[in-house]
C-alpha cells in the first residue's frame, strides 16, 4: 500500500517518503516480526491466493488487512471491488485477530460479516506518509482522534436520498411515509449506521460536560469541560452542530 499523493514523486529525496505500511511496521516492530502476503487484487475476481493468505494469518496470530480502492478508481456500488470481501471473510472465518484498514476516498458498506473485525481504522487520501502514520497509530505511538466526515452504511440500499432529514423526524413506524415524518424503510437492517458521520474512537475515553451557551450582539459562544477518563493521553474533537429553527 503506497499513497504517493498527487504532488509527491515516488523517488522523493526524503528516504522515508512513500514507505508502505509493511515497511513502516518493520521499522516500528522489527523486520523479523512482520510478514507480508499480497492477498487479492481489487481489479479482478481472483481467489487463488486466499488460502495462502489465511494460512499466513493463522501462523502470525494477527492479521492487518488493507482493503479499499485507489483515488482514481470508481465502481458500481459501495461494496469492495474484486475479491476483497471474500478475502476478508476468509480471514475472519478462521477466528484470527484481525485489524481491517479501510482505504479510499469514498464510503463503503459495513455488513455483518465485515463488522466481525477486531478494529477498523479508516483513512482517506492521506498522502505519501500514510504508511508511517498508520504504523504509529497501530503500535500506540500516536493516539488517534479523527472523526468520520461521512457515514458508512450497513447496506448499499440503506442510503436513501434526503434533503433535510433529522434523526428525531424518524418515528420508526411503517406508515410514517404517509404522514408528516420521514423514515428509513429497511426493517431488516440496522436503523443506525454502524459508523455514522462524526464517529471515531481512540485508545482512551472522554467525558464532555453539558455546554453552556451564551449569546450577545448576535454572537453565540459556548463553554464546556472535556475530561480524559482513561489512562492514556489523547485528544478529542468536540463536534457541535446547529439546526436552525423552522417557524
CATH of the domain at 104: 3.40.50.1700
**C-alpha cell of 220?**
453565540
In a domain, 247, yes or no: no
Tens digits of residue pLDDT in 197-224: 889 999 999 999 999 999 888 888 899 9
Decide: 117 and 99 in contact? Cβ < 8 Å: yes
pLDDT tier at 109, thresholds 50, 70, 90: confident
Kindly state whether residue 115 falls inside one of the protein's structural domains.
yes
How far is CA 247 from its chain centroid? 38
Asked if residue 237 has pLDDT above 60, the reply is yes
Asked if residue 75 is part of any domain, the answer here is yes
The tally of domains found in the chain comes to 1
C-alpha grid cell, residue 227 = 475530561
* Predicted pLDDT at 192: 65
Which of 105-114, 136-145, 214-223 holds the top average pLDDT?
136-145
For residue 63, give the C-alpha cell: 492479521
Residue 175: per-residue pLDDT = 45
Of 145 and 105, more confident: 145
Q: H helices within 110-167, ranges in order? A: 130-138
Amino acid at each position: 500500500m503506497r499513497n504517493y499523493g498527487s504532488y509527491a514523486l515516488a523517488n522523493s529525496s526524503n528516504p522515508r517518503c512513500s514507505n508502505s505500511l509493511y515497511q513502516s511496521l518493520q521499522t516500528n516492530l522489527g523486520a523479523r516480526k512482520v510478514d507480508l502476503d499480497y492477498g487479492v487484487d481489487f481489479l479482478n475476481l481472483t481467489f487463488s491466493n486466499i488460502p495462502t493468505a489465511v494460512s499466513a494469518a493463522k501462523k502470525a496470530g494477527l492479521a492487518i488487512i488493507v482493503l479499499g480502492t485507489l483515488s482514481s478508481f470508481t465502481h458500481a456500488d459501495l461494496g469492495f471491488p474484486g475479491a476483497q470481501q471474500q478475502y476478508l471473510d476468509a480471514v475472519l472465518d478462521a477466528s484470527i485477530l484481525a485489524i481491517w484498514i479501510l482505504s479510499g476516498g469514498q464510503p463503503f458498506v459495513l455488513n455483518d460479516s465485515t463488522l466481525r473485525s477486531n478494529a477498523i481504522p479508516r483513512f482517506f487520501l492521506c498522502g505519501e506518509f500514510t504508511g508511517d502514520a498508520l504504523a504509529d497509530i497501530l503500535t500506540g505511538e500516536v493516539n488517534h482522534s479523527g472523526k468520520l466526515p461521512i457515514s458508512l452504511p450497513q447496506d448499499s440500499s440503506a442510503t436513501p436520498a434526503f434533503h433535510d432529514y433529522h434523526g428525531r423526524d424518524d418515528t420508526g413506524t411503517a406508515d410514517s411515509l404517509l404522514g408528516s415524518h420521514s423514515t428509513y424503510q429497511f426493517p431488516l437492517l440496522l436503523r443506525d449506521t454502524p459508523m455514522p458521520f462524526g464517529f471515531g474512537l481512540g485508545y482512551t475515553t472522554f467525558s464532555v460536560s453539558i455546554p453552556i451557551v451564551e449569546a450577545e450582539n448576535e454572537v453565540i459562544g459556548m463553554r464546556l469541560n472535556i475530561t480524559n477518563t482513561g489512562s492514556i493521553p489523547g485528544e478529542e474533537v468536540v463536534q457541535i452542530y446547529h439546526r436552525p429553527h423552522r417557524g
